[in-house]
Amino acid sequence: MKTIISKIEKKQLNNDVIEKAGKILRSGGLVAFPTETVYGLGADALNEKAAQKIYAAKGRPSDNPLIIHITNMEALKQIVSDIPEAAYIVAEKYWPGPLTMIFHKSSIVPYGTTGGLDTVAVRMPSHEIACAVIDAGGGYVAAPSANTSGRPSPTRAEHVEEDLSGRIDMIVDGGPVEIGVESTILDVSVTPPMILRPGAVTREMLCELLGDVEVDATLFEEDSKKAPKAPGMKYRHYAPKAKLCVVEGAVDMVVKEINRISAEKMQKGIRVGIIGTEETVGQYTHGNVKCIGTRQDEATVANRLYAVLREFDGENVDYILSESFSGCGIGNAVMNRLLKASGHYMIHV
């Protein structure tokens, strides 16, 4: 299959491109498009056969459910069986935006979209191109991140092309995304609501609205006996080809330890990549050093995270050492992804 790649400006929605994307979606095809978090791989969520194509294109395990993307609250009412009060409160403040909520599904949602579950994940993105594509595609678009299963999520159209060219009908190229890590997932089908995946809408922000919000205990623990509540979180994910090690501690100690380990590895002929920050990159003495952003604003780190991991893939690095981040605000999402990408391989200094 030849993948059509069409560039489009956010401020100047090119109707031909949106119309074409909509037509492909409505006839059961696959279209990748930008959202404010990461690029999504869209299919008609109410057409089981179309949703199944997503699993084949990504090499995604069939028990890993998809998020349905909508653009208005009327659409939500069609695909869920009830909307808890907490969901209205959160939607009022954070939809459209980088937040997904889990509801009990209605009968029109096929099990092929929910991985056999009676619940359904729903997101209302704010990105203009995403919204135009969803509306043109019929209003209910299932879209996981548009990467090959297991690889870092795509934050630019080029990343989608790298993974899925020839396997999907179309890529709508709307340039780099703004946030860079996937949406927060909040399960509102349980009381109190529970965060199943951290993202740009943080626990602090949700607690302020709802009071009590739990966090899935498996998110930051390696040897938890429990399975994660979001099926996708159990898979090795976001992972670069090289082994990744996260070094945690006071920043100057972290830099020292990374310098020590990288010198040792390089002596053995191992090619080392280092994930540093604006504050530290000048202090590294060995290896292929990349600046991921500034510690002063961890949103910059979230924004570059997946691109940096993909760059290392392209540069044949064997071993990556990364600094660790605060774990507060969006730093929480960054640490969750880094730990997953490293298989929880973390050194404390």
Q: Which residue do the tokens 């994930």 mark?
A: 275
Helix boundaries (H) for 59-195? 73-79, 85-94, 111-114, 128-136, 157-164
Long-range contact list for 13-22, CB < 8 A, 24+ apart?
Answer: 13/128, 13/129, 13/132, 17/172, 18/129, 18/132, 18/133, 18/136, 18/172, 19/136, 20/170, 21/133, 21/136, 21/137, 21/170, 21/172, 22/133, 22/135, 22/136, 22/137, 22/138
- Pick the binder of ligand TXA from 22, 29, 40, 96 (CB under 6 A): 40
CB of 143 to ligand TXA, least distance (A): 5
Residue list 144-183, contact with Mg ion (CB under 5 A): 145
Site string for ligand TXA, 51-90 (x = CB under 6 A): -------------xxxx-----------------------
Q: Which stretch binds Mg ion (CB under 5 A): 58-66, 99-107, 139-147, 251-259?
A: 139-147
Cis before 154? omega within 30: no
- Rounded-to-10 torsion of CA 54, 156, 330, 194: -10
Judged by CB under 5 A, the number of residues near Mg ion is 1
Q: Which is nearer to Mg ion, 149 or 332 (CB)?
A: 149
Output 238 or 284, the one with its CB closest to Mg ion. Answer: 238
Number of other CB atoms surrounding residue 348 within 10 Å = 11
Least distance to ligand TXA from the beta carbon of 280, Å? 29
Tokens found for residue 207:
């607690």
- Choosing from 73, 83, 89, 117, the residue that interacts with ligand TXA (CB under 6 A) is 117
The reply to whether 232 sits near ligand TXA by the rule CB under 6 A is: yes
CB of 257 to ligand TXA, least distance (A): 32
Q: Choose the binding region for ligand TXA from 4-12, 32-40, 71-79, 277-285 (rule: CB under 6 A).
A: 32-40
Closer Cβ to ligand TXA, 196 or 254, answer by number: 196
Which residue number, 149 or 189, has a Cβ lying nearer to Mg ion? 149
Distance CA(68)–CA(234), nearest Å, equals: 20
Q: How far is the CB of 170 from ligand TXA (least distance, A)?
A: 15
Q: Which of residues 120-159 bind ligand TXA (CB under 6 A)?
A: 120-121, 123, 143-145
Summarize the chain as % helix, strand, coil (round to 5).
35, 20, 45
**Which one, 176 or 231, has the nearer CB to Mg ion?**
231
Residue span 196-225 as binding mask against ligand TXA, x where in contact by CB under 6 A, dash where not: x-----------------------------
Residue 282 φ then ψ, to 5°: -70, -15
227: how many CB neighbours lie within 10 A of its CB? 11
Nearer to ligand TXA, 67 or 275 (CB): 67
d(CA 183, CA 187): 13
Measured from the CB of residue 327, what is the shortest distance to ligand TXA in angstroms?
20
The residues binding Mg ion (CB under 5 A) are: 145
The residues binding ligand TXA (CB under 6 A) are: 35, 37-38, 40, 64-67, 100, 102, 114, 117, 119-121, 123, 143-145, 182-183, 185, 196, 229-233
